[in-house]
Amino acid sequence: MQTTDYFTDEIKREYFELLKFETVGADPMKLRECVNCAMWIKKWLASMGFSGELMQAPGMLGTPPVLFAERKGAEGAPTVLFYGHYDVQPADPLEEWETPPFEPTLKNDGRVYCRGAQDDKGQWFAFLCGMRRFLATGTHAPTIKIVLEGQEESGSGALAALAPTIKEKLHADVMLVCDTGAAADLRPAIIAGLRGVSHFTVRLEAAAHDLHSGQFGGIAPNPAQGMAELLASLHNPDGSIAVKGFCDGIEPPTEEERAAAEAAALSEERYVEDMGCPPVGGEAGLTITERNSFRPTIEVNGIHTGYGGPGSKTVIPAGALAKLSMRLVPGQHPDRVMECVTRHLERHTPRGMKLFIEDLSGEAAGFRLPLASPVFRLAASVLEEMDSRGPVFQWDGASIPVVSALRVASGAAPLLVGWGQPQDRIHSPNESYGLDQFARAMEWGEKILAAL
Amino acid sequence: MQTTDYFTDEIKREYFELLKFETVGADPMKLRECVNCAMWIKKWLASMGFSGELMQAPGMLGTPPVLFAERKGAEGAPTVLFYGHYDVQPADPLEEWETPPFEPTLKNDGRVYCRGAQDDKGQWFAFLCGMRRFLATGTHAPTIKIVLEGQEESGSGALAALAPTIKEKLHADVMLVCDTGAAADLRPAIIAGLRGVSHFTVRLEAAAHDLHSGQFGGIAPNPAQGMAELLASLHNPDGSIAVKGFCDGIEPPTEEERAAAEAAALSEERYVEDMGCPPVGGEAGLTITERNSFRPTIEVNGIHTGYGGPGSKTVIPAGALAKLSMRLVPGQHPDRVMECVTRHLERHTPRGMKLFIEDLSGEAAGFRLPLASPVFRLAASVLEEMDSRGPVFQWDGASIPVVSALRVASGAAPLLVGWGQPQDRIHSPNESYGLDQFARAMEWGEKILAAL
């Protein structure tokens, strides 16, 4: 199949329109962009016979709306719930973008560069373009429910709160998600598990104002130094997590899961290529797959304290801020894990400083799905039709917290198949999505809906 | 003596004009402000019969100029070299200023608020206003040489390079500096020693770009976590410095020095009041005075890496930056100490990351002066005349790196007497200088020049 058969001028125009909305859901200043984007999608889906509505979680006005759309299918046909998110990561650091982050650019390398080109606008848009092709054939269609939210990158607060209150709306047999990656060389991958996640902010405060590092050096507690010590205390020298109780109760993978995961693993060389550095993060002595798929992490996502400009500034900062996130695996309950981390941070707070733990958000447990389920078998046959190599099963190190909530509310069996590749650089400057990936996502959408 | 007798409308107008120049010497964007300020001062000194010139260090064009001014004294009179700096610290964090940082504001508390109100524009300007009063009396005056530079807050690069090349110009019997603090309740203080200093920047790099903390968490090395571990390694749990060889050769103070320093020490309560937190920084088990006057420090002045904005961003940063400075005491040679730190940082660089040590600047050794010198005796008698309590001797924890260089080049005996107080908040938002302090600095300038 030729890419151009799929990526028509019309689709390109629609795709670029969608990408231009600066839907940074975490940034209150971008709320208007999010609302406009959701309305744009609602209109776009209406052209395919979908009834749609923008929903707010009770008491959560001023957050990006959740778009719910539905198209009744043939009598007795199954119900499919499709989930995606129209929000994107912040674009910073801006200076590292080769083209403006919200100006979609198709380069000669056959890739579209833009924040959200892949995660997740590109992936779900391509899938739904495939759905449009399928619906155009007029054949016996399932009932299709679509949920697109605007807070996935910042914890899915609104949808997580809404889901339990609209179980009937969400009820479905299968939940399709196109927000994950394929294996090496675009070999299809079925996600058999996801890690959970939890975000929080840590602040340290000491003096009431910045102090002169000569006048007060050796006298005043230094929160920049203190934050370094506090964060360093989270890990052991071998890279394992030093927080007491953090790893209690972790369910190890079965031999079948472990074997399937290793079979789908990228080579170390491939990671060096994709990351530009050796894959030596995490716990020493475990394989890359084990560390990423079956082990939890505590990552420091950012530290900001004191002076960072040109020259030097001999200051002892009054405070320090760090952004952290944890990836959790089955057997770890987010609340209990956070209690362990809180206790650890309190116990390790350097003398003379006050500790604040804030902005706890996006808490979700990790999960693993049974490999032998009927949905997985059906998906496998479709994917084998698309690619003779057939699918691999993966346990993605990333998280889609809301999938857990939707799973419970809808009663549907999750089927996560996406077409991301490491070179897409999601969450980084110069995010992009290849037209070959776009075409695969379309074909998948078209064929899986036909098969269901 | 009434403050108003000294702080006339004319002086207020001149003082505010001087403060309005945004002379952030470390910021290349402010070079024009620095040049304009230096020209303003040259003109101001010319009105008192000083010949002046703006000097550039060879090969250092594009840096704030050094102002050298001279006024010949009576035949056979001694030569006095006065040093100060017209540059100031960066004003950030801007949002914490109650009045604009470069808009001098005299508040009802009798203090002038502005960046540089004290450090050092306010102190040397007040001293030189006192000099003007003395010169107006027309009595037998010493030859007065004035050096005012624009890089003290960022390492004094130009003047340090110039000094050895203009020894004749700088040659003097006594070097007066008004850039230090008085004791509690404005009791006069003679600085009998200063700590040395050295600044540098540390960077860690891992991936070629920011990475998704789920997709790569447990695989990619995290420079934010790595920087925390690297900086934490610089100190032991008791707050002492863990860098091998760092403290070798330190000359302990004499009993006389130690006794004099402790006699002049502020109370712990006073520090709590001034800093807004307990004075528990530095090495456990040593007195505040010992830690600040006679022990070295390594301070983290800033850390910047990854995300710090609203909400969360699940990213593994590609790199991390930290600004550090060290305070050194007699017996520590800056170069040798830096070698120890470099070796330590190299040995502790986390796996998978590249270390960069950059922007090494402002290196100066600490020094202590003999308490029984003639200059100190003369100064003591003048200060006793000004304040019946008489002066205390202090070993300031801060540094004026260029004083060491000027001391060598001029052959002069340094006499450091200043009128700073902790509540001046130098280097912090809402820096200020009290009119009572201003008046003392003026009186000191007038009387010491008359006595010399």
| Residue-wise pLDDT tens digits, B41-70 | 999 999 999 999 999 988 877 899 999 999
Whether residues A197 and B314 touch (CB distance < 8 A) is answered with yes
Residue B8 has a CB neighbour count (10 Å cut-off) of 11
Which residues of chain A have a CB within 8 Å of the CB of B267? none
pLDDT at B227: 98
- Look at residue A399 in the predicted model and tell me its pLDDT: 85
Give mean pLDDT, residues A417-433: 95
Question: Which chain A residues are Cβ-neighbours of B425 within 8 angstroms?
Answer: 209
What secondary structure letter does DSSP report for B75? T
Closest residue in A to B181 (Cα–Cα): A215
Distance CA B380, CA B318 (A): 57
A306 to B305: CB separation less than 8 angstroms, yes or no: no
Mean pLDDT of chain A: 94
Instruction: For residue B431, count CB atoms less than 10 angstroms from its CB and return exposed for 0-12, middle for 13-18, buried for 19 or more.
Output: buried
Q: Report how far residue A344's alpha carbon sits from residue B49's, in angstroms, rounded to the nearest whole number.
A: 67
User: How far is Cα of residue B156 from the mean position of the Cα atoms in its chain?
Assistant: 10
User: Which residue in B291, B307, B348 has the most chain A C-beta atoms within 10 A of its own C-beta, making it the best mutation to test that interface?
Assistant: B307
d(CA B318, CA A312): 23
What residues does each domain of chain A span? 3-194+367-451, 196-256+278-364
C-alpha dist (Å) from residue B305 to A431, B216, B227, B302, B395? 20, 17, 9, 10, 36
- φ, ψ (nearest 5 deg) of residue A78: -70, 165
What pLDDT, on a 0 to 100 scale, did the predictor assign at position A4? Answer: 65
Question: What tokens appear for A11 in the block?
Answer: 């689709």
* d(CA A376, nearest CA chain B) in Å: 22
- For range A258-286, the mean pLDDT: 92
Q: How far is CA B372 from the centre of its chain?
A: 26
| Average pLDDT over every residue of A374-381 | 95
| Residue whose tokens read 């402010």 | B30
Q: Which amino acid is at B274?
A: D
Interface residue of A303, A316, A425 to substitute, partner B, most B CBs within 10 Å: A303
* Closest-CA distance of chain B to residue A242, Å: 13
Per-residue confidence band for A3, with pLDDT thresholds at 50, 70 and 90: low
d(C-alpha B345, C-alpha B229), whole Å: 11
The pair of structure tokens assigned to B26 is: 């470390």
- Write down the architecture of domain B196-256+278-364 according to CATH: 2-Layer Sandwich (3.30)
* Planar angle of CA A384, A388, A392, nearest 5 degrees: 60
Say if residue A51's pLDDT is above 60.
Answer: yes
What mean pLDDT comes out for the span B103-116? 97
In this predicted model, which residue has the larger pLDDT, A408 or A35? A35
What CA–CA distances, in Å, run from B123 to B261, B314, B369? Answer: 23, 48, 22
Q: What is the mean pLDDT of residues A342-364?
A: 94
User: What is the structure's pLDDT at B4?
Assistant: 65
Contact B312 A199 (CB under 8 A): yes
**Given the structure tokens 């069996």, which residue do they identify?**
A413
Q: What is the pLDDT of residue A77?
A: 93
User: So what's the ipTM on this one?
Assistant: 0.81
Q: What is the pLDDT of residue A362?
A: 73
At residue B5, the pLDDT reads 77
> Which residue, B300, B222, B395, is CA-closest to A210?
B300
Looking at the predicted structure, is the pLDDT value of residue B2 above 70?
no
CA-angle at B124, arms to B122 and B127, nearest 5°: 105
What CA–CA distance (Å, rounded) separates B260 from B394?
A: 7
Distance, in Å, from the CA atom of B70 to the CA atom of B52, rounded to the nearest integer, reads 6
Question: Which of A221, A271, A308 minimises the CB distance to B277?
Answer: A221
pLDDT at B29: 93
Interchain contact, B219 vs A323, CB within 8 Å: no
Strand arrangement, sheet containing B196-205: A354-364, A196-205, A319-328, A297-306, B297-306, B319-328, B196-205, B354-364
* Per-residue pLDDT tens digits for B304-360: 999 998 888 889 999 999 999 999 999 999 999 999 999 999 999 999 999 999 998
Measured between beta carbons, which residues in chain A are less than 8 angstroms from residue B275? 206-208, 211, 216, 219-220
Average pLDDT over residues B360-367: 84
Who among A209, A233, A307 is closest to B429 (CB)?
A: A209
B33 C-beta neighbours (distance < 10 Å), count: 22
Q: What is the pLDDT of residue B138?
A: 85
| Residues B427, A218: C-beta atoms closer than 8 Å | no
Contact state of B301 with A306 under an 8 Å Cβ cutoff = yes
- What is the pLDDT averaged over residues A386-405? 90
On the question of pLDDT at A1 being above 70, the answer is no
CB contact under 8 A, A92 and B309: yes
CB contact under 8 A, B316 and A327: no
The DSSP annotation for A230-263 comes to HHHTTB-TTS-B-STTTTTTPPPPPHHHHHHHHH
| B368, B293 contact by CB (below 8 A) | no
pLDDT digits (tens, 9 = 90+) for A227-243: 999 999 999 999 999 99
Angle between helices B223-232 and A223-232 (to 10 degrees): 110
CB contact under 8 A, B222 and A314: no
Mean pLDDT of chain B: 94
Domain B3-194+367-451 class, CATH top level: alpha beta
Cross-chain Cβ contact A221/B280 below 8 Å? yes
Chain A residue with the nearest C-alpha to that of B220: A281
Burial string for A307-325 (b: 16+ CB within 10 Å, else e) reads bbeebbbbbbbbbbbbbbb
CB contact under 8 Å between B427 and A309, yes or no, is no
For residue B27, the distance in angstroms to the closest alpha carbon of chain A comes to: 6
CA A61 to chain centre: 23
Interchain pair B280, A197: CB under 8 A: no
Least confident interval from A31-45, A112-126, B226-240, B367-381: B367-381
The pLDDT value recorded for residue B384 is 97
| Measured distance between the N- and C-terminal CA atoms of chain A, rounded to whole angstroms | 22
Note whether A428 contacts B353, CB cutoff 8 Å.
no
The residue type at A345: L
Residue pLDDT, tens place only, A287-345: 999 999 999 999 999 999 999 988 888 899 999 999 999 999 999 999 999 999 999 99
- CA B133 – CA B156 distance, rounded (Å): 30
Looking at residue B362, its pLDDT comes to 73
Query: Which residue of A lies nearest to B227 if distances are taken between CA atoms?
Result: A228
Predicted local distance difference test score (pLDDT) of residue A57: 87
Which residue, among B229, B415, B215, has the nearest Cα to A395 in the 3D structure? B215
**Closest CB to B277 among A215, A352, A396:** A352
At residue A12's C-alpha, the angle toward residues A9 and A16, to 5°, is 145
Instruction: Specify the length of chain A in residues.
Output: 452
Q: Are B164 and B158 in contact (CB under 8 A)?
A: no
Over residues B63-79, the pLDDT tens digits come to 999 999 999 998 899 99
Chain B residues whose beta carbon lies within 8 Å of the beta carbon of residue A218: 281-283, 291-292, 295, 297, 327, 397
Distance CA A111, CA A109 (A): 6
Which pLDDT band holds residue A29 (cuts at 50, 70, 90)?
very high
Q: Which residues of B touch A358 (CB under 8 A)?
A: none
pLDDT at B1 exceeding the cut of 60: no
State the Cα–Cα distance between residues B362 and B353, nearest whole angstrom.
28
For A392, how many CA atoms within 13 A lie in the half-sphere containing its CB? Answer: 20
Test B225 with A300 for CB contact under 8 angstroms.
yes
Give the strand pairing for B111-113 and B105-106. antiparallel
Report DSSP state, residue B164: G
- CA–CA distance, A38 with B323 (Å, rounded to integer): 44
Whole-number Å distance between alpha carbons of A338 and A328: 11
* Token pair in block for residue B380: 């003591």
Subunit contact A197:B219, Cβ cutoff 8 A: no
Q: Which residues of A touch B314 (CB under 8 A)?
A: 153, 197, 199, 299, 301, 325, 427
Residue-level pLDDT at B3:
64
Helix (H, G, I), strand (E, B) or coil at A380: helix
**Tokens 């894959």 appear where?**
A279
The dihedral through the CA atoms of A383, A384, A387, A392 has a sign that is positive
**pLDDT for position A361:** 81
Residue in B with minimal Cα distance to A322: B308
Distance from CA of B411 to the nearest CA of A (A): 26
Q: Residues A17, A23, A28, CA angle at the centre, nearest 5°? A: 150
Among B209, B301, B353, beta carbon nearest to A429: B209
Give the Cα separation of A409 and A156 in Å (integer): 15
What pLDDT band is residue B400 in, cutting at 50, 70 and 90? confident
* pLDDT number for residue A311: 82
Does the distance separating the beta carbons of A397 and B215 come in below 8 Å? yes
- Phi/psi class of residue A343: alpha, beta or left (left: φ > 0; alpha: ψ in -120 to 50)? alpha
The reply to whether residue A213 touches residue B362, judged by beta carbons under 8 angstroms, is: no
Residues of A in contact with B315 (CB under 8 A): 89, 301-302, 427-428
pLDDT at B167: 96
Does residue A8 have a pLDDT over 80? yes
Q: Least CB-CB distance to B426: which of A26, A212, A399? A: A212
Percentage above 90 pLDDT, chain B = 84
Q: Which pLDDT score, from 0 to 100, does residue B42 have?
A: 98
Mean pLDDT for A404-415 is 91
**In the predicted structure, residue B115 carries a pLDDT above the cut 60:** yes
Q: Does the pLDDT value for residue A372 go beyond 90?
A: no
Residue of B nearest to A153 (CA): B313
Number of alpha carbons in the 13 Å side-chain half-sphere of residue B85: 28
Q: pLDDT value at position A5? A: 77
State the pLDDT at residue A128.
98
Report which of residues B112 and B310 the model is more confident about: B112
Using alpha carbons only, what angle is made at residue A220 by residues B283 and A323, rounded to the nearest 5 degrees? 105
Buried/exposed A220-230: b ≥16 CB within 10 Å, e otherwise: bbbbbbbbbbb
pLDDT (mean) for A136-150: 94
Q: Which residue in B has a C-alpha nearest to residue A298's C-alpha?
A: B217
Distance from CA of A184 to the nearest CA of B (A): 14
Closest approach of B5 to chain A, Cα-based (Å): 31
Q: Tokens 């910073």 appear where? A: A92
